[in-house]
Amino acid sequence: MIGNFGALNRANGELTASGLYDPALEHDSCGVGFIAKLDGVATHQIIRDSITVLVNLEHRGALGGDKSTGDGAGIMMQIPDTFLRQETADSGIVLPRVGDYAVGMLFLPANNSLAANCRNIFEKIVADEGCEIFGWRPVPVDPVSIGEQARKTMPAIEQVFIDRAKISAGAFERKLYVIRRLTEKQVAELPADTSQFYIVSLSVHRLVYKGLLTANQLPNFYPDLADERFISRFGVIHQRYSTNTLPTWNLAQPFRFIAHNGEINTLSGNINRMRTREFNLQSPLFGDDIEKIKPIIVGSGSDSAIFDNVLELLVLSGRSLPHAMMMMVPEAYGPKIQMSEDKRAFYDFHSSIMEPWDGPAAIVFCDERYLGGILDRNGLRPARYTITSDGLVVLASETGVLDIPPEKIIKRSRLSPGKMLLADFNQNRVVPDKEIKAKISRQKPYRRWIKDNIITLRGLFNPSSAPSENDEILLQKQHAFGYTAEELKMLISPMASRSQEPVGAMGNDTPLAILSDRPQLLFNYFKQRFAQVTNPPIDPLREELVMSLETFAGGEGNLLEETPENFRGFRFSHPVLTPDDLLRIEQANHPSIKVAYLDILFERNGGPQALEQALDNLFEAAAKCIADGATLLILTDRNINAGQVPVPSLLAVSGLHHFLVRQGLRNRASLIVDSGEVREVMHFTLLVGYGADAICPYLAFYTVRNLALNGLLEQDLKPEEAVDSYIIAVKKGFLKTMSRLGISTLHSFFAAQTFETIGISQEVIDRYFTDTINRLGGLDLADIRNEAVLRHSAGFPLTGNVRNLLDTGGEYSLRADGPRHGWNPSAIAKLQTATRADDYEIFKDYVRIVNESDATPPTIRKLLTFKARPPVPIDEVEPVESIQKRFAASAMSFGSISPEAHRTIAIAMNRLGARSNSGEGGEDPQRVTVLPNGDCANSKVKQVASGRFGVTPAYLISAEELQIKIAQGAKPGEGGQLPGHKVTDEIARVRNTTPGVTLISPPPHHDIYSIEDLSQLIFDLKCVNPTAKISVKLVSESGVGTIAAGVAKAKADLVLISGYEGGTGAAPLTSIKHTGIPWEIGLAETHQTLIFNKLRDKVRVQVDGQLKTGRDLAVAALLGAEEFGFATAILITLGCVMLRKCHLNSCAVGVATQDPRLRVNFQGRPEYIERFFRFLAQDFREVMSELGFRTVAEMVGRSDILAYQPPADSGKSAKFDLNPLINAMTNTTAVCGISRSEKVAAFDDELIRLTAPAVERKEPVALDLDIRNTYRTVGARLSGEIVKKYGAAGLPDDTIRINFRGSAGQSFGAFLAPGISLKIEGDTNDYLGKSMSGGRVVLVPPPNSAFAPHENVICGNVVLYGATGGEVFINGKAGERFAIRNSGALAVVEGIGSHGCEYMTGGVVVVIGSTGSNFAAGMSGGIAYIYDETQLFDTKCNLDMVDLESVWDKKDKLFLHSILEKHWRFTKSPHTRAILDKWDSNLPLFVKVIPIDYRKSLERMKLSEHTDVETVSATEEVFNG
């Protein structure tokens, strides 16, 4: 690879892993759809329409580095019999009648002889399996029109025709599957590079044409598709967007059964569990053939391909396609969901044999009979459909992809979460979701089967017992399992006291476990992975109804069979067991439950091999127990004693799990861990993630009890209550950990290994943690043993005297006898003195302390050394002033830090010509004004985060850079919450919310569920502010490079890689310590991946995370960063002394508090920051001079200058290997990112021209225009122009009036400014009115449409996200998450999907129709009125934060009436007219939803306004409330 990064490793364009770049970590996402004619008559029009749909979804795909290669597009259709019959006739092939022959579509190696080899293998297998080949047909292609990279990797494309011969018609499709698997396996064994070989489709019914193409290229590339004889009754289409630029032909979609838009979050768990099931697979339909298809999952597939593999197995082994889809993509069926009991039983039963394949997924599926689409339980992907009076069904990621005369439309709707749309060609009709599911749910007596075979552990509903332990023995065991006093105080006590995960602040500055000089629990060598961009995290609190921690214990049966005994065992509502529960399990007295205890201990004096020996013995013993019929294996370390050391529980469980998987025994028994080691959330999640079915943390329970008895909890609790509280905290921790990954159920999280390791040897990983991401080497088994023995000897010292105090700890707060911290007293004191006294000499003392001192911990950057190069004189090095331009203050909102601190940072950064960052939460518009002394407190970088607080057009155009925060270092994959007491008047004003009302930032951006969504948001932002650079903030983890590549392809200008160490805000301690990885690894991977993908010159790379000295900057630059972000160091110059109390509002130095009593203590000054950066740049210059670099630009990516010398003296860290960070890119002269300068073109450019009189002179303008879904983000740029000219107040109402006809694209009316009124006759896609700040959007169906507006969906998901003003009137239904995080807009709509008004903080929403479930989750402000004819609304409303009332107040009644009148005026909605006409009888059916805190705040505000005026009498409120 060296020196030639354009080279492709394999013929198909796949790269093999090199350095830190690993193609296995790629993601994709896309646009998807289908068209079907229900009468079943095949026409060529269907093909043409399918291609039209595909082309109209093209903006959802992406282009590669060469700007012309698409990421993939394709179409699946019926086999066009006539066409093929006639085409093959010339070559003498006579095809038998339809159904008796199959067509294979094959990609063959471009190399002729290799292709011949492949063909031979295929032919031989066909013959061996009892079929015959008629012949081959080279598929005509036109490679001229396709991209360069696509052409380079283009395979030979041929069709093959197969006679079923002696195989029966019913078994033919199955046999084709066997043939395909056998061929795939044999070809893979050829010694040559056969990566191009791929069987696109091989079926009696279906044919797939696809390739590494764009939608437009597809019909040109395959001339067949244009042939009139090419007919089908359906077409399934797909347009791909991959995160890297070297996608392959094979990974284009559709696959054989599905096309998928989204991402399977749970993939690793699904793959691992399928592997465990493979051994047990048996099917009468397959018979002996079953062995031929194994392994079921084909190695190099994408998530969608793997899903397809498993679905294929389920369908071909006899389940119907909808049944199989219900198994793999179950809807949420938790207790909060209203559902038929039989359907619940169906899901219950199947959950014990198949875990959900969850993720933001819209999947289109198809076999000979059915064609359908399904959405996962979270419903995060859009899927809109239209049914016409002449029997056409069109489903696609967007509406408006096919022009259909309005009068023919009889239904417009959308798929809702977990629901299915199914066309049945046997019945020639669409089967409703309820009907098909009811039928399948009753095909077997699932309800009875469950009752008979699954025992629900009743004990879990009893109060947990709190077992006691003698104080001395407790202390001894705590010593032996490495407990520290700090853990008791910081972790266990908050969990037991408040049922909460403990929270901390100011990041993590202790060394990685592998670099620590003290023994570490094995858990600490693992880091949690998390979702960013390609899949969204979940909000487990507000969207709890989709989550489940249920787990099963017992033996599992054969996946391919449905029998009552398929699963027999226990059902636990969560995986945490008390010792009492264990007892109950033991005494269960059930024939199929047999418990076996296995000690996980090794001999202390057994020598270095003792651990390995103990593991081998454990595995053997377990296998024997299973052979003897055990179904529950309890791994216990309770029998610890002076001679017996506990095996790290994670090693024991994961090692055994993998052993049993390899032996094919895993499904026959469940593993329960009974260990004293387990106490933190991270420990529990790791154990389940590596194969524990349940866990009993006995020592943690003893400890909790002891704390409760000694009054050491934060409040007085009985031991039993404390234990319960602790369990609840662990459960919440599970939910949070899963949510970070976007996983909803523990079934999918189980054994999914959603972790990566830092500091474990590959040998240990391969053997005991197989397939875990692990790249830098480290501990071997002997080291693990040594650390275990060291811990053990604290509890069982040779002297016999156990210390009376636990180790103090010092991980979270510094302790002199604990681990070293990056920020220590002397470093802080020196930095503060240096910047206050303006003394560079003192700054150099600080630099020495940080770089060289033994007092600071080893970090990866410290271990990397520089190779000697001829120095250059320092005066030839670029000046301080130019280096400073590369500096940025990292995002810190002024909700988290005080307004004084926030302003001071902005002023300082502006003085330096560097950039400060507003952080999430807006910024006071006043700050744009230049101060009399020439200073300006406007942050050049404005952040756009998931809460969208204060994101208005004015805010966005005041920025030079707009930063989309995908994740933050301290807590990637999580949202945030600003508690009400911190929401001051000032904060509320800037965030457009109400003082005192809690503000919630959701974990995901609700307009970024995938990479193409990110691309859309970037487009939105570039529309509203065409001159701003767009940056995307990511957090370092394995695979971040691939995401960065996707970000670059989404046309971002800058990507920020944030290290896990950094983070100034409040975050759960689990997140601070255990999620994310150091920036060095993520940065190196990002740089390498961008180079590999030829994208490095398209995007700038910034890094942050505890950067402190010029040396740090040098390492960062050499690893690939050209800009540098800082937060903690800035705060320290401003007076921060690392109290780590940011989350408590009690910062005594006035930096991170809103308390006016403490803010007076703030003594920071802009000069301190200026000096810090001047000194830092100077220090950097000195390093540059020493290394012989004159400019930073020359340094970027020169990792060949770095060297790694493992520390010589220390044991375990000597095995740590950092060479992958620096080797792969040797000698490249990486091109520094050049900012994109081109302004993206948008439809608004035309609008701005047409509305010039209004924009320039405020003259009214009215326009009539056509629109279609490919016109995206209409209104945003126009709004930006207006706000730029007239300020946030915009233009007078209705100055610009535009009537559109057609289907609007995504983000219609986004960022709309006052004075613009948009009306649309037709329908719209997602993100209508996103962040609108004024103006009006009216949406009505076309005047001549055939359907009743209020029964049809004419508007997409996520309407009014983050809106701060304006009005929306919709004469029809909208999708999910209507008015999410709305803080000021008024909206009327005639029906909505789930999660309506989620996180809303202000504004008014009126729904005159049904709502989906979970309405008002996290709604802290604003008011909603629901017209509730069924009076069942309260069952759909999330009542955690809101009250429901009738509309009784006179003012309220009038207000509501006036809104509806207005709605009628704008839309002429017949439904509204009907309601208004009988107002007196309809008014009582309205329910008013008002957040509890919001009402209090409103009352408070009212009271303060009119302290002497009696408002509403309290009694009246009580009566009516």
Partner 1 sequence: MAKDPGFLKYKRHNPTKVAPADRIRNFKEFEIPLNESGLANQAMRCMDCGIPFCHAAGCPLVNHIPDWNSMVYHAHWQKALALLHATNNFPEFTGRICPAPCEYACTLAIHDSPVTIRHLELQIVEKGWHAGWIKPQIIPNKTGKKIAVIGSGPSGLAAAQQLIRAGHAVVVFEKRDRIGGLLRYGVPDFKLDKAVIDRRLAQMEAEGVVFEPGVDVGRDISPRYLKRTYDAIVIATGTTVARDLAIPGRQLAGIHLAMDYLIQQNQINAGYVISPEQIITAKDKDVIVLGGGDTGSDCVGTAHRQGAKSIAQVEILPQPPGSRTLYNAWPAWPQILMTSSSHEEGCERLFGLSAKSFEGTDNVRQVTFARLEWTEPDKNGARTSREIAGSQFCLKADLVLLAFGFLHVEHGNLVHELGIVTDSRGNIVVDQHYVTSEAKFFATGDAVSGASLIVKAIYNGRQVAAAVDNFLSGS
Residues involved in catalysis: 30
C-alpha closest to that of 372 among 328, 415, 327, 314: 415
Binding flag, residue 145, partner 1 (CB under 8 A) = no
**1071 vs 1086, which CB is nearer to partner 1?**
1071
Q: Are 1404 and 1389 in contact (CB under 8 A)?
A: no
Please classify residue 112 by burial: count the beta carbons closer than 10 Å to its beta carbon, then call 0-12 exposed, 13-18 middle and 19+ buried: exposed
Least separation in angstroms between residue 497's CB and partner 1 is 13
**Chosen residue from 9, 43, 145, 813 binding partner 1 by CB under 8 A:** 813
Does residue number 489 form part of the binding site for partner 1 (CB under 8 A)? yes
Say how far apart CA 927 and CA 907 lie, in whole Å.
10
Closest contact distance (angstroms) between CB of 979 and partner 1 is 6
Residues 6+ apart with CB under 8 A from 622: 596, 598, 633, 656, 659, 660, 669
Instruction: List residues bridging with 395 in a β-sheet.
Output: 34, 385
Q: Does 1144 bind partner 1 (CB under 8 A)?
A: yes
* From candidates 1139, 1214, 1265, 1476, binder to partner 1 by CB under 8 A: 1139
Site track for partner 1 across 459-488, x = CB under 8 A: --------------------------x---
Residue 1209 contacts partner 1 per CB under 8 A = no
Q: Which of 800/870 has CB closer to partner 1?
A: 800
Describe the chain by its helix, strand, coil percentages, rounded to 5. Answer: 40, 20, 45
Minimum CB distance to partner 1, residue 1106 (Å): 14
Q: Is residue 824 close enough to count as binding partner 1 by CB under 8 A?
A: yes
Closest distance of CB 737 from partner 1, Å = 23
* Given 63, 782, 814, 1214, the residue binding partner 1 (CB under 8 A): 814
**Nearer of residues 835 and 1303 to partner 1, judged by Cβ:** 835
Site for partner 1 contains 842 (CB under 8 A): yes
1138 touches partner 1 (CB under 8 A): yes
Q: In what order do the strands lie in the sheet with 206-211?
A: 206-211, 73-78, 234-242, 28-37, 392-396, 384-388, 409-414
Map the footprint of partner 1 across residues 676-735, applying CB under 8 A. Answer: 710-712
**Candidate list 4, 113, 587, 804; residue touching partner 1; CB under 8 A:** 804
Cα(179)–Cα(125) distance, integer angstroms: 6
Residue 241, φ and ψ in degrees, nearest 5: -130, 110
Among residues 488 and 1218, whose Cβ is nearest to partner 1? 488
Interaction of residue 808 with partner 1, rule CB under 8 A = yes
| Alpha carbon separation from 1244 to 56, 1248, 1251 (Å, rounded) | 19, 6, 10
Distance from C-alpha of 1519 to C-alpha of 1448, rounded to nearest angstrom: 10
Of the two residues 799 and 1229, which places its CB atom closer to partner 1 in the complex? Answer: 799
Sorted by sequence, the CB contacts under 8 Å of residue 1119 that are 6+ apart come out as 1080, 1083, 1084, 1087, 1103, 1197, 1199, 1202, 1221, 1222
Q: Is-contact 1011 1021, C-beta < 8 A?
A: no
Q: Which of 734, 823, 846, 1369 binds partner 1 (CB under 8 A)?
A: 823
- Across-strand partners of 409? 388
**Residue of the chain from 189, 589, 591, 805 that contacts partner 1 (CB under 8 A):** 805
Task: Give the separation between CA 452 and CA 458, rounded to whole angstroms.
Answer: 15
Binding track over 950-989 against partner 1, x by CB under 8 A: -----------------------------x-x--------
Number of residues located near partner 1, criterion CB under 8 A: 51
Q: Could you give the CA distance from residue 1160 to residue 200 in angstroms, rounded to a whole number?
A: 69
Q: Which is nearer to partner 1, 507 or 1041 (CB)?
A: 507
Helix axes 169-189, 303-316, angle to 10 degrees: 140
Nearest residue to 105 (alpha-carbon basis) of 160, 35, 62: 160
Applying CB under 8 A, which part among 115-123, 149-157, 1151-1159, 1421-1429 lies near partner 1? 1151-1159
**In this structure, are residues 462 and 681 in contact, taking their beta carbons and an 8 Å threshold?**
no
- Tell me whether residue 712 or residue 1289 sits nearer to partner 1 (CB atom): 712
Site for partner 1 in 505-534 (CB under 8 A): 505-506
> Is the separation of the CB atoms in 1152 and 897 below 8 Å?
yes
Q: Does 113 bind partner 1 (CB under 8 A)?
A: no
Interface segment toward partner 1; rule CB under 8 A; list 113-121, 817-825, 1042-1050, 1403-1411: 817-825
Shortest distance, position 1170 Cβ to partner 1, whole Å: 17
1131 binds partner 1 (CB under 8 A): no
Member of 185, 294, 815, 1496 binding partner 1 (CB under 8 A): 815
Q: 476-492 burial, b for 16+ CB within 10 Å, e for fewer? A: bbbbbbbbbebbbbbbb
Among 589, 801, 926, 1513, binds partner 1 (CB under 8 A): 801
CB of 1144 to partner 1, least distance (A): 7
Choose one: 267-275, 1068-1076, 1131-1139, 1215-1223; the region binding partner 1 (CB under 8 A): 1131-1139
Does position 833 interact with partner 1 (CB under 8 A)? The reply is yes
DSSP result, 907-933: HHHHHHT-B-B--SS---GGGGSBPTT
Shortest distance (Å) from residue 975 CB to partner 1: 18
How far is Cα 220 from Cα 1500, in angstroms, rounded to an integer?
A: 67
> Which range binds partner 1 by CB under 8 A, 289-297, 527-535, 807-815, 1197-1205?
807-815
Check residue 1157 for interaction with partner 1 (CB under 8 A): yes
Decide whether 385 or 823 has the Cβ nearer to partner 1: 823
Residue 504 or 655 having the CB closest to partner 1: 504
Candidates 1141, 1159, 1268, 1462: give the one binding partner 1 (CB under 8 A).
1141
From residue 1490, alpha-carbon distances to 755, 1387, 1439, 1447, 1451 in Å are 41, 16, 10, 11, 15
3-state secondary structure of 210: strand
**Binding range to partner 1, per CB under 8 A, among 63-71, 667-675, 797-805, 1063-1071:** 797-805
Return d(Cα 46, Cα 1445) in angstroms, integer: 51
Least CB distance from residue 805 to partner 1, whole Å?
Answer: 6
Q: Which residues are within 8 A (CB) of 1148 and not within 5 positions of it... i.e. 6 or more apart?
A: 1139, 1141, 1158, 1161
Q: Is residue 117 a contact point for partner 1 (CB under 8 A)?
A: no
Rounded CA separation 241/64 (Å): 10
Based on the shown chain and the rule CB under 8 A, indicate whether residue 368 belongs to the binding site for partner 1: no
Phi and psi at residue 1114, to the nearest 5°: -65, -45
Residues in a beta bridge with 674: 636, 696
The sheet that has 595-599: what strands, in order across it? 595-599, 632-636, 670-674, 694-696
Considering only the stretches 118-126, 448-456, 834-842, 931-939, report the one whose residues sit in contact with partner 1 under the rule CB under 8 A. Answer: 834-842
Strands annotated E in 1211-1260: none
Residue 43, beta-bridge partner list: 232
Which residues lie near partner 1 (CB under 8 A)?
485, 489, 505-506, 710-712, 799-801, 804-805, 808, 812-817, 821, 823-826, 828-829, 832-833, 836-837, 839, 841-842, 979, 981, 1135, 1137-1141, 1144-1146, 1148-1150, 1155, 1157-1158, 1161
